[in-house]
Structure 1
Amino acid sequence: MSRDTSQQGLAPRRAALHLLDQVTGEQRPMSELLSEGALDHLDPEGRARAQRLATQTLRGLPRADRMLARFLQKTPPLHVRNILRLSTIELAGGEAAHGVVNAAVAMVGMNKRTAGMKGLVNAVLRKVAADLPGGWDKLAVPRLPKWLREPLKAAYGPQVVAEIERAHFAGAPLDLTAKTDPQAVAEAVGGTVLPTGTVRLAKGRQVSGLPGYEAGDWWVQDAAAALPARMLAAQPGERVLDLCAAPGGKTLQLAATGAEVTALDISDGRMGRVRQNLKRAGLSADLVVADALTYEAAPFDAILLDAPCSATGTIRRHPDLPHARDGSDFQKLFQLQAALIDRALALLKPGGRLAFCTCSLLPDEGEVQVEAALARHPELRVEAADPPGMDATWHSEPGGLRLRPDHWADRGGMDGFYMALLRKPA
């Protein structure tokens, strides 16, 4: 029996299929499934393979559907459709047709409700394998869902949206933030240092196996996500609050400056990751599990607020998001962001500074929030945001930076973010 059709070979595929069924059928985000232990039964290599397969399938799902439509007279049940999608993506990625087809037939046969479709799956995938060499690359780049594409077109225009979609389809490299010396980390892991100081690896690798992981010399953090803390520029001895801190990349950045950092998050489970990351990096912060809207403390010199948002700027890393969201909860998010800005300002010393950011492409979660905050607090002002290595084209009205996935396309892109540095009146 080949590796691909053995239990060892099937296990990662079956786990990836489970993730696909939950994301596309139950609209559950993959992060939630992973936090619940959906892949815990696999060894590290199997977990990495299963997550990679599910992510790649979700990223290329519209393409896979177009390819499969050529050979399907009617749409099969979702579970079977996901087996076909997963297998098509594997074939497009260069996996041997024999192993992929046999594994797909084995998986469809494991479910009594779908076992009768083994012949269909076998026939369709063999036709896909024969057609892929001349047909896959001719298919259009997958589009964003209409509920997101339309507001982005209104904000940026159709050409920019098309470039964003290309960036999403290309996926994301692995970015690291160095605790001290980016160049030393880059040399150790075989990466390059971006102008903003982030270390980038062109291809994703098993994170825990990279040099410097156990020593805590770096942590995983997208280049865009690393900029708000650099923009805040915490100083040694300052009292700094990281509001909505989990998973903790920005907390580590702030702690590495020598500031006295308090990290707050409403989720005890998510705060566990912050605690683990701090320990690995040999850094310290005061961790508080509480609701940011009711948290009380002595005023802080500086606050970083990475507010809960739609996360639409991270789709290139999390292609499950368009399936897990439909835009219906956005208004509640907008209201929460405004309330968090007001609460952060109340926790800030006179003359203190607030770095507000969201990993969103929607202006309502960025520029519009800052405009509204300035209207509510007339003496508040936006300060120039010029972290090292930034591009002048990232400046946005009414101030701050607007980052998009198509920025730095020749370097591998970045997550979509908005960030602004606000100064409270003295």
Structure 2
Amino acid sequence: MKNSAAKRIRFFSVVFILVLAGSCGDAKQSDFVAESFRAAAPLYKNMISATAGNFNDYPHSLLPDGKIKFLQIDEWTGGFWPGILWNMYAYTRDEEWREAATQWTESLASNQYNTAHHDIGFMMYCSYGNALKFNPDSTYRDILLQSARSLCQRYNPVVGSIQSWNERKSKGDINTWLFPVIMDNMMNLELLFYASKTTGDATYRDIAVSHAELTMKNHVRPDYSSFHVVDYDPITGAVAHRQTLQGFSDNSTWARGQAWGLYGFTTCYKETGDERFLATAMGMADFYLNHRNLPPDLIPYWDFNVGEEGYRPDWDYQPDADKAIPRDASAAAITSAALLDLSQLADSSKRGKYFAAAEMMLKTLSANRYLNTGKDNPYFLLKHSTGNFPSGNEIDVPLIYADYYFLEALLKYDKILKSAGNP
């Protein structure tokens, strides 16, 4: 282990002990949580006003001219905006947020029948799943169960996995993907676990476990880094290709893909108690936290291996010596949410490390460099995320899912502190 990584781990453990002892100074530990939610409120009220009456277009990011970039109901990020509104309600208990969250959630109802791609978990569980926490509506439950049935239609028992995208050309048209499965798909399994617990039907759980096992086998490398895409032969189930579409190169580690995997395997362990999933989640967490290229503030570059020797992109990469490598705040937000869960589940020797790392990420994201206090744009809370760098798409911009997982992580952090007796 590098000296810097070892020092970082020791620092995390000391911070964790101090936090839970309530001895990190006079200020309340969750002040930055309150400040982040206060900063969010006017921005999201602006978003509500800007989208008033339009429940067909879902806020996603910002366009170069500063206007909101929308995606439509069948796109993968539609559930994050209502999820954000539910997170605002969870923290504030202000009925204004609940009303808006309900309207935006219910606007997604037709997506329960969407079988065009794998993202129905993102779309429906981040919206209706959050809604059920505050409104045990049987209609919401039924919509989620239909969503789970729709997702299961993309499962191939020969492969043992849920197909992410339909047949398509790979990056650079190098080959054709017949049955591509992406690491992001791990995030949709929570919907299936919910369906199994709700109905008592083990089929949903079995599909989720099979998918996770195959992802663990074929996406996760021996050092716990990860491929983005694994393509299978749908007839034989054999692996055809391993690639990294949104990362620097096929053998590099795309930061958000690593975050999706960490979060997804942590969820699988929570739902199954299978130690293999816990070991994978901890391995992916340690890869992230110990990596030589992780900046001191723990907000990663969009890929851990950008420009490094031994990593050759198959796209036209032209480094700009005058610009820093873009960060990805969305990857840090997702990772912090996962690490907080992992800090409650992992081996006792690592719980402190994971909690303190998540806290440091959240404090960094809550600071001026990453937090929009209303001066940078009127609508989104976090700055400096990267969507798809190789495609030149959404580089150094706000992204709706960065905000969603940031708020989710803040809520988890606040809950952990309060359960430990901190104010």
Q: TM-score, normalised by structure 1?
A: 0.27
Q: By percentage of residues, which structure has more helix?
A: 2
More strand by share: 1
Higher relative contact order (CA 8 A, sep 6+): 2
TM-score (norm 2): 0.27
